[in-house]
Amino acid sequence: MKEHNFFETYHIDPLAIDRCGLKWEMLQEISDSYDIRKTELESTAKLVVENILRFPQIHSMNYRIKINEHLIEKIIRKTISSPSRIINVSNYLSEITDLIGIRVLHLFKEDWIHINNFIKSNWDFKEQPVAYIRNGDSKRIIDYYKENDCRIEEHPYGYRSVHYIVKKIFNNTEYFIEMQVRTIFFTGCTKRGS
């Protein structure tokens, strides 16, 4: 990664990085460490996907491993927005919880509870699942998510989905995986970043 090109591509003010104490050398060290971890991340993702695909209510799914530049951009933005937060080469695996992203699609709204119970019984959560709703969703659906231990957030782009951050240990390393579960019939407009 070239420092100057990176700042231009991602519209990041280099002075903001200096003010919050980040150094490009440290970000490069994280990127180098991440390169070494990618094979394990890929293997971890495949194991989780194989496990989920056995569940009958799953219509389809895909996964991705975050690319280096998006990882570094996310670290920069998190640090700028919260300068007291320290993210470095020794803790980025636990601080960035979407290095592995899995999107799970199901056909019918009613299938979500079965998938939710399956996820709860197979993985530990790093944090409470978040049900993203859109403005105008019924109180009934909001209460349904709350009754099933989801935190409710209105998505600014109308995206409906339930997001889980689950833990998976692979080769004695704890990884976090962001799972997004949604029905293909409740799409709405989305704006997605990695």
Q: Output the pLDDT for position 1.
A: 66
Q: Kindly state the tokens that stand for 178.
A: 């962001």
Q: Model confidence over 12-50: pLDDT tens digits?
A: 888 888 888 889 999 999 999 999 999 999 999 999 999
Going along the chain from its start, the domains and CATH numbers come out as 3-183 (3.30.460.10)
Q: Output the pLDDT for position 131.
A: 96
Maximal CA-CA distance, the chain = 51
Q: Kindly state the tokens that stand for 13.
A: 């003010």
Q: Model confidence over 155-174: pLDDT tens digits?
A: 888 888 999 999 998 888 89
Global pTM value? 0.87
Q: What is the mean pLDDT of the chain?
A: 90
Q: Which of the four pLDDT bands, split at 50, 70 and 90, describes residue 99?
A: very high
25's CB contacts (< 8 A; 6+ apart) are none
Q: Kindly state the tokens that stand for 169.
A: 């240990």
Q: Model confidence over 129-144: pLDDT tens digits?
A: 999 999 889 999 899 9
